[in-house]
């Protein structure tokens, strides 16, 4: 991310670009941007202003009720869209290090956004023992802030996963019947 942050001016601007590129049909308020990518009000406001001045964003409303959205007429939108999508990734090692804080992992699978399958119901499947849901939610939220995109995830206890896998659960079939990537497999799939 550091080379891209230098090209785009700052890590904050890169995060905001990712947020808007991955959610082009959504309008965000300043508070939404601050919450989603964990920026201070001053930095978020400055970066939104710069992107507004560049023509990438358009503004609706005024002052506290203002919302920002990608301007579909921005001349470099399609090129920027391709570039951001192809260069956005979080290394599996980083994901695993973060997830290990949530409990004893047995299976971690990347699908959906991480494999380019947009229609997938989930992007991340976590199976483990003694998983702390609060810690897991915090880890996923930090990954979302890094990627600038919501990550749909599901977590299961090992016994529950084995049962669901045995009865061909639709959610699990949605993961395993399409492109996916195993980061850890202690279950033996």
Is the same domain home to 100 and 179?
yes
Domain with 177 in it? 92-185
Q: What is the mean pLDDT of residues 184-189?
A: 89
User: Tens digit of pLDDT for each residue in 63-110?
Assistant: 778 999 999 999 888 888 888 877 776 778 888 988 999 999 999 999
| CATH number of the domain to which 8 belongs | 1.10.10.10
- Does residue 96 share a domain with residue 75? no
Tell whether 180 and 129 lie within a shared domain.
Answer: yes
The whole-angstrom separation of Cα 135 and Cα 137 is: 5
- The residue-averaged pLDDT of 39-59 equals 91
36 and 96 in a common domain:
no
Mark whether 82 and 130 lie in a shared domain: no
Considering the domain architecture, whether residues 75 and 55 belong to the same structural domain is answered as yes
Distance of alpha carbon 115 from alpha carbon 179, whole angstroms: 6
Mean pLDDT of 20-41: 89
Between strands 124-129 and 153-157, the pairing is parallel
* Same domain, residue pair 41 and 81: yes
Q: Please provide the average confidence, as pLDDT, over all residues in the chain.
A: 88
Q: Are 14 and 78 within one domain?
A: yes
Backbone angle region of 9, left / alpha / beta, with phi > 0 → left and psi within -120 to 50 → alpha? left
Phi, psi of 64 (to 5 degrees): -70, -20
State the alpha helices, DSSP H only, in the chain: 2-8, 11-22, 30-37, 41-54, 77-87, 92-99, 133-147, 158-166, 170-176
The total number of structural domains in the chain stands at: 2
Tell me: do 81 and 99 sit in the same domain: no
The DSSP letter of residue 4 is H
CB 123 within 8 A of CB 110: yes
pTM: 0.72
CA distance 78 to 75: 8
Q: How confident is the model at residue 6 (pLDDT cuts 50, 70, 90)?
A: low
Per DSSP, 65 falls in state G
DSSP letter string, 103-140: SEEEEEEE-GGGGT-TT-S-SEEEEEES--HHHHHHHH
């Amino acid at each position: 991310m550091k080379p891209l942050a230098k090209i785009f001016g700052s890590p904050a601007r890169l995060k905001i670009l990712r947020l808007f590129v991955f959610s082009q049909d959504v309008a965000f308020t300043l508070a939404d941007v601050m919450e989603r990518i964990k920026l201070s009000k001053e930095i978020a406001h400055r970066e939104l202003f710069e992107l507004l001045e560049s023509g990438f964003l358009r503004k609706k409303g005024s002052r506290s009720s203002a919302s920002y959205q990608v301007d579909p007429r921005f001349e470099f939108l399609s090129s920027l869209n391709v570039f951001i999508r192809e260069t956005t990734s979080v290394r599996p090692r980083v994901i695993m290090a973060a997830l290990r804080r949530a409990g004893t992992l047995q299976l971690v699978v990347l699908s959906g956004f991480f494999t380019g399958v947009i229609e997938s119901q989930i992007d991340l499947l976590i199976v483990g023992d003694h998983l702390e849901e609060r810690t897991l939610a915090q880890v996923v939220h930090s990954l979302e802030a890094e990627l600038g995109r919501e990550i749909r995830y599901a977590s299961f206890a090992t016994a529950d996963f084995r049962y669901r896998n045995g009865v061909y659960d639709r959610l699990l079939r949605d993961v395993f019947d399409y492109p996916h990537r195993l980061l850890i497999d202690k279950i033996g799939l």
